[in-house]
Structures are given as C-alpha cells and as structure tokens.
C-alpha cells in the first residue's frame, strides 16, 4: 500500500506519518522523579541512558543513579540460566505471573545473545512472554549482551538498581546460558537458579561444572513430559550437588522438579528462594554478599572503563589496525602487540 505524505503547515515540505518524532531530552531531576513514580516510559529511558556508551550519557546516568541509590536494594535478585531449549522464557512467564498474582511487582531483565559476526541480537523475549508482557505488575526489559563475557549486559547491575527504585520487589535476570561464563551473574544476584531438562546423563555432559558450583537450586523443567525421567534427573543432580563444595556454609543447594505448563513446583521454588533469604539474613551472609558484590563490581567497572578510555586515545586508535593485522598474520604475537600498545601510553607520559 502506498504511503500518504503530509504537507508541513507553512512550508512546501512533506513528511511521512511514520517519521520518528524526536523525543525531548529529560533532565536528571525529571528522570529521577519519573523512575520513583514508577513511570515505565521514563524507566525505559533511564535504562537506555545507563546502557549508552556515549560520554555525555554516562555522566548523566551516574547523576541519576546517585540520587536513586537511597531507594535501591529492596528487591529479591534472582538469576536464572539453563541449557538451550530448557524453556527459560516459558518458566519465567509462569513464575513471574504467579508472583504478580500474589501482589509482587516483577521486573525481568532478559539478556539476549549478541551475534559475534553481525553485532545483532534477537530481543524477542517480550514476544515469548505474552501474558507477562501485558501484566501491569510486570516489566520486561530485553537488552543485548554485546558479547560481554558474563553473558549479561555490562550495565545490568545499574538496571537492577533502577528497577528497584521504580518499586519492583522481585528482579529476575535471564542470562544467555553461556556455560561457565554464567558465574558472573552470581556476582549481581542473591539467588542463582539453574534450569535443566529431564535426561540427567546427557544433561550433565552439557553443563559446565562451574555453573553447578554456583547454583543455589537446580530445577528440572518440563517434568510433565516424562515424570519418570525427570525424577531420575533430579536424583542425578542431587548426587552431583553433594559432591561439590557449596558456596555457603549455611545453604545446601538442592534439586527439584518443575513444570512451566502445569505450574507444578513453582510454589516450592518460591518457598526455597524465601527460605534461602531468611537463612542468609539470619547468618549475616546476605549483607556480606551484597557488600562483596559491590566491591567486585567496582573492579569490573574499573577494568571496563580503563579499556574504554585506553582504546579511545588517538595514538592508540591509529596503531591498533596495524597491530591487529600483524597479530592475525602471525608476524608478532599478542603479548608483543599489547606491550607495544602500552609503550605508546608510557612514551606519551615521558614526553610530557
């Protein structure tokens, strides 16, 4: 169908009705006020702001976060991962709707994989969570991971804080399921849930030992499809967990069966999450873990910012293409390339 163009009043110019209207830039105060009021549109814009790599956006994002910090920290932060095809999105929709029906406000940070070749990402979680996406007490935010090692967006921590300031008391972080790199999600959540499929023998081969070591709970999903196989998988995972050293002296990770379709086990999973929180708080581990996460995040951010600052230097940018080419063709090794790049900075300081 041919699109009708509209004439702009007072001119001879025309515009398409689909033309994007440039949004007004919000002040820091307007963003803070909107987030605290639970305005979803402003919350989304605030998240976009903290995800941006533009220097001017970074400055405003930090101002926003500084003012919102007193209103953060009150949610249950739950990381959810699993092998491909385990049904993470289906589980999250069933689990999330259960929680909203009980009066909770649930934010879902669904981190999509970014293609290493094209840089694109799927960002399809809203279409896979039909009921939750229209739930007034839920908020779904898909964000590309940009190839970040931990399988989570580099600004997911700040996004969690923004959602907490907006009044969400449960934050679910769905990760890309990238195996051992998922250990990074444990550094920003209170509880780490690993979803697995029935068929323990095959599945134990498909999941890294490092993920099992940081799991607080293993849930065998789709248990309704083959209950006997699911029970066998549950026993296998329980045996595997007993061999591994738990991350806490006061919590022994366990396995259970769940079904996103029949909702079997969802109540039990939530009860275990609440029980874990109670034990961690009683033993003083909850506050200690959150403090440790802040410390780890400081160093993660420092490394990230140093690399960003370093690669933006003109002298470094001009040298990088040739060095990368030489590493690719084998004329120099990576260590030599790194030393040459660092010498650029050192020489620059000495010349001053």
Check which CATH number belongs to the domain holding 345 and give it: 1.10.287.130
Side-chain half-sphere of 128: how many Cα atoms within 13 Å? 17
Least-confidence region, from 33-42, 135-144, 336-345:
135-144
The answer to whether position 288 is within a domain reads no
- Name which of 52, 70, 36, 45 is nearest 155 in CA terms: 52
- The answer, yes or no, to whether residue 270 has pLDDT greater than 60, is yes
The answer to whether residues 245 and 316 belong to one domain is no
The answer to whether residues 64 and 77 belong to one domain is no
The answer to whether position 290 is within a domain reads no
More confident residue, 20 or 215: 215
The answer to whether residues 232 and 310 belong to one domain is no
The answer to whether position 2 is within a domain reads no
The answer to whether position 14 is within a domain reads no
Residue 46: CATH number of its domain: 1.20.5.170
CB atoms within 10 A of CB 181: 19
- The answer, yes or no, to whether residue 208 has pLDDT greater than 80, is no
The answer to whether position 323 is within a domain reads yes
Q: Residue 176's pLDDT is what?
A: 67
Q: What is the mean pLDDT of residues 327-334?
A: 95
CB 128 within 8 A of CB 89: yes
The answer to whether residues 269 and 339 belong to one domain is no
The answer to whether residues 222 and 254 belong to one domain is yes
The answer to whether position 1 is within a domain reads no
- The answer, yes or no, to whether residue 70 has pLDDT greater than 60, is yes
Query: How does DSSP assign 153-177, residue by residue?
Result: -TTHHHHHHHHHHTT-SEEEEE---
The answer to whether residues 272 and 328 belong to one domain is no
**76-82 and 106-112: which strand pairing?**
unpaired
The answer to whether position 10 is within a domain reads no
Q: Write the CB contacts of 143 (distance below 8 Å, at least 6 apart in sequence).
A: 47, 51, 109, 110, 111, 112, 123, 153, 155, 156, 159
The answer to whether residues 337 and 252 belong to one domain is no
Domain boundary among 229, 249, 282: 282
Confidence of residue 125 (pLDDT cuts 50, 70, 90): low
| Total domains, the chain | 3
> Inter-axis angle of helices 314-329 and 334-351, to 10 degrees?
160
DSSP state of 133: H
DSSP state of 31: H
Tokens of 129: 């969570």
The answer to whether position 17 is within a domain reads no
Q: Write the CB contacts of 302 (distance below 8 Å, at least 6 apart in sequence).
A: none
Residue 140: CATH number of its domain: 3.40.50.300
Confidence of residue 37 (pLDDT cuts 50, 70, 90): very high
Question: Which structural domain range is residue 61 located in?
Answer: 24-71
C-alpha to C-alpha distance for 74 and 105, rounded to whole angstroms: 12
Q: Residue 118's pLDDT is what?
A: 40
pLDDT in tens, 301-322: 888 888 888 988 999 999 999 9
The answer to whether residues 333 and 248 belong to one domain is no
Domain boundary among 249, 282, 315: 282
The answer to whether residues 339 and 206 belong to one domain is no
Tokens of 37: 């009021």
The answer to whether residues 202 and 238 belong to one domain is yes
The answer to whether residues 177 and 219 belong to one domain is yes
- Where are any strands of DSSP class E within 115-226? 138-144, 170-174, 191-196, 217-220
Domain boundary among 231, 251, 282: 282
DSSP state of 110: E
Tokens of 73: 């920290």
Q: Residue 205's pLDDT is what?
A: 47
The answer to whether residues 110 and 243 belong to one domain is yes
Measured in Å, how far apart are the chain's first and last C-alpha atoms? 64
Give me the chain's average pLDDT, please: 83
C-alpha to C-alpha distance for 146 and 308, rounded to whole angstroms: 14
């Amino acid at each position: 169908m041919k699109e009708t163009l509209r004439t702009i009043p007072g001119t001879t110019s025309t515009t398409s009705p689909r033309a994007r209207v440039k949004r007004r830039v919000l002040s820091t105060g307007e963003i803070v006020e909107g987030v605290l009021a639970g305005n979803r549109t402003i919350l989304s814009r605030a998240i976009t702001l903290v995800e941006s790599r533009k220097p001017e956006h970074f400055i405003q994002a930090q101002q926003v976060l500084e003012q919102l910090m007193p209103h953060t920290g009150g949610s249950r932060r739950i990381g959810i991962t699993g092998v491909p095809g385990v049904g993470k999105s289906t589980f999250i929709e069933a689990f999330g709707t259960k929680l909203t029906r009980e009066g909770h406000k649930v934010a879902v940070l669904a981190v999509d994989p970014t293609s290493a070749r094209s840089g694109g990402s799927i960002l399809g979680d809203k279409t896979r969570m039909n009921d939750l996406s229209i739930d007034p007490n839920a908020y779904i935010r898909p964000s590309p991971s940009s190839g970040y090692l931990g399988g989570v967006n580099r600004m997911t921590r700040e996004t969690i804080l923004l959602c907490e300031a907006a009044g969400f008391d449960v934050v679910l972080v769905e990760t890309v399921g990238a195996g051992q790199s998922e250990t990074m999600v444990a550094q920003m959540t209170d509880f780490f849930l690993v979803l697995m499929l029935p068929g323990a023998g095959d599945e134990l081969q498909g999941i890294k030992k490092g993920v099992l070591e940081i799991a607080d709970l293993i849930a065998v999903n789709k248990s309704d499809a083959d209950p006997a196989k699911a029970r066998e998988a549950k026993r296998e995972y329980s045996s595997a967990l007993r061999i591994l050293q738990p991350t806490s002296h006061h919590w022994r990770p366990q396995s259970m069966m769940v079904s996103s379709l029949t909702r079997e086990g969802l109540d039990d999973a939530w009860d275990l999450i609440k029980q874990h929180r109670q034990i961690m708080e009683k033993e003083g581990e909850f506050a200690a873990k959150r403090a440790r996460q802040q410390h780890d995040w400081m160093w993660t951010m420092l490394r990230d910012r140093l690399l960003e600052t370093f690669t933006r230097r003109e002298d470094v940018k001009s040298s990088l293409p040739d060095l990368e080419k030489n590493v690719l063709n084998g004329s120099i090794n990576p260590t030599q390339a790194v030393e040459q790049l660092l010498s650029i900075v050192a020489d620059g300081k000495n010349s001053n």
